Structures are given as structure tokens and as C-alpha cells.
């Protein structure tokens, strides 16, 4: 019977405007991938963001199943396939955030971040995509299976090289000593790599985790 998860759900912040993100290592900064290696004024980088987007739109067309209608949808697709963007992955489901925070292989305490941002479900104008005045939560159409499986959404970072912070951000610690049990409880609830990463990749991630957890439990890892 689940023991840790009810306490976690009782401790975290809830609300209609709250979204979540899990960090397997509490030391990780809440910063988009594109902003993690540049500390000067971000205005110097915007032209490279724009070029990266345009190059992706030209080169990815033969390989994609869905043709995005707006530039922010293109950014979502870039983020999905590993290109650095100013988007940061979040989810509307706190248990999915807990799954990512409970990776037992990091050897560190994790954390679940709860964030309160104004929402955008509509198309975001292409005209000022890289010059919007505020960060916001964006709920994309279901352009990939993972967005569906992970109840996915994004936070658009106004300044990508500055960590998201402020009163709209709260954090809940996930002790490393509890991670293995959390993963077991989440699996009982139907949350695993296979459910979050539909396809062969998810199956392989599950099999890999089963092996790693056995090694951890037997102190062979």
C-alpha cells in the first residue's frame, strides 16, 4: 500500500494555476537549457535563437509527423527532440514531476518544483516570440505522444539565463533514501517510463531501471 505518495500530495502546493517539475538533483538550477552557459546580457543571444529556430524548421520537415502552426509550437517540438530552447518542461500532474524527481541513480536528494504562472492556451504571436515581457505557462496542442503521456506543458522564460524564482515558486524536497520506494509506489499507480515515453524507448528505460534498482537493493551498483 502506498505510504510516501499521500504525504507528498498533502505537502505540495495545489491550485488551478499550479504546474510542476521534478529535479532528480536539488542542486540543479531552474533554468532552460539554452540559458545555462551564457551569463551576459541575453539580447546578445536572441539572434542565435532565431537562426536556430529557422534552421530547425527547414531541416526537420522530412522527419516530423505533425506540422506546427506557430513558432512557439515549433519551439515545443525542438524542445521535445533535444534542441536547447527558452522553454522549460513542466507538467500539470504532480506525480509525473515526482517520477522525475525520484531517479534513484543520482545519489542526491531531489525536489519537486511547484510554479504558479499565468496561462496561455492560445497561439502565441510569432511577432514578439523572443521579446515577450513576462514568463508564462504554455499549454501546447498534442503535437507529440510525450506531451500527452506526461500531461506536458512549458514555461516560457523571458530571460533564459536567469533562474526562475520568486514567490510563485515553491519546492518540496525528495530525500534520496525514499526514491526507490517512490518509484515502486508510482509503478503501482501506472506511472513509469513506458507510460511517460510511449514506444520502445520507454520500454527500454523501464527494463534498465528494473536492473539498476535490483543492483542498488543488492548494493552492487
Give the pLDDT confidence score for residue 221 in this predicted structure: 45
Alpha-carbon gap, residue 6 to 18, rounded angstroms: 18
Interior angle at CA 147, CA 142 and CA 153, nearest 5: 95
153, 159, 163, 168: CA torsion to nearest 10: -60
Q: How would you write the pLDDT of the chain (221 residues) with one tens digit per residue? A: 458 999 999 999 888 889 999 999 999 999 999 998 888 899 999 999 999 999 999 999 888 888 888 999 999 999 988 899 999 999 999 999 999 999 988 889 999 999 998 777 667 888 889 988 889 999 888 766 666 667 789 999 999 999 998 888 999 999 999 998 999 999 988 898 877 876 666 556 666 666 666 665 566 44
Give the pLDDT confidence score for residue 212 in this predicted structure: 67
pTM listed for this prediction = 0.84
Give the pLDDT confidence score for residue 207 in this predicted structure: 64
Give the pLDDT confidence score for residue 220 in this predicted structure: 45
Alpha-carbon gap, residue 202 to 197, rounded angstroms: 5
Alpha-carbon gap, residue 38 to 36, rounded angstroms: 6
With contact defined as beta carbons under 8 Å apart, do 100 and 24 qualify? yes
With contact defined as beta carbons under 8 Å apart, do 2 and 79 qualify? no
**Residue owning grid cell 531541416:** 59
Across the strands, what pairs with 87?
A: 156
Q: Write the pLDDT tens digit of every residue in 191-203.
A: 988 778 766 665 5
With contact defined as beta carbons under 8 Å apart, do 97 and 112 qualify? yes
Q: How far apart are the first and last CA of the chain?
A: 27
Strand runs labelled E in 117-200: 119-120, 136-138, 152-156, 169-174
166, 170, 176, 177: CA torsion to nearest 10: 150
Across the strands, what pairs with 136?
A: 156
Amino acid at each position: 500500500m502506498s505510504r510516501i505518495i499521500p504525504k507528498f500530495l498533502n505537502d505540495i502546493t495545489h491550485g488551478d494555476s499550479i504546474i510542476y517539475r521534478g529535479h532528480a538533483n536539488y542542486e540543479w538550477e531552474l533554468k532552460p537549457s539554452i540559458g545555462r552557459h551564457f551569463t551576459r546580457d541575453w539580447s546578445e543571444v536572441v539572434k542565435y535563437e532565431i537562426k536556430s529556430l529557422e534552421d530547425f524548421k527547414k531541416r526537420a520537415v522530412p522527419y516530423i509527423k505533425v506540422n506546427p502552426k506557430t513558432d512557439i509550437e515549433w519551439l515545443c517540438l525542438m524542445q521535445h527532440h533535444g534542441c536547447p530552447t527558452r522553454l522549460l518542461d513542466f507538467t500539470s500532474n504532480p506525480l509525473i514531476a515526482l517520477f522525475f524527481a525520484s531517479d534513484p541513480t543520482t545519489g542526491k536528494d531531489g525536489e519537486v518544483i511547484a510554479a504558479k504562472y499565468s496561462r496561455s492556451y492560445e497561439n502565441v504571436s510569432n511577432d514578439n516570440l523572443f521579446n515577450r515581457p513576462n514568463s508564462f505557462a504554455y499549454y501546447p496542442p498534442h503535437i507529440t505522444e510525450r506531451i500527452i503521456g506526461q500531461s506536458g506543458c512549458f514555461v516560457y522564460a523571458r530571460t533564459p539565463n536567469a533562474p526562475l524564482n520568486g514567490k510563485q515558486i515553491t519546492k518540496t524536497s525528495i530525500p534520496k533514501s525514499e526514491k526507490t520506494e517512490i518509484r515502486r509506489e508510482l509503478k503501482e499507480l501506472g506511472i513509469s517510463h513506458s507510460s511517460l515515453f510511449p514506444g520502445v524507448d520507454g520500454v527500454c528505460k523501464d527494463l534498465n531501471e528494473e536492473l539498476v534498482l535490483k543492483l542498488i537493493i543488492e548494493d552492487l551498483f
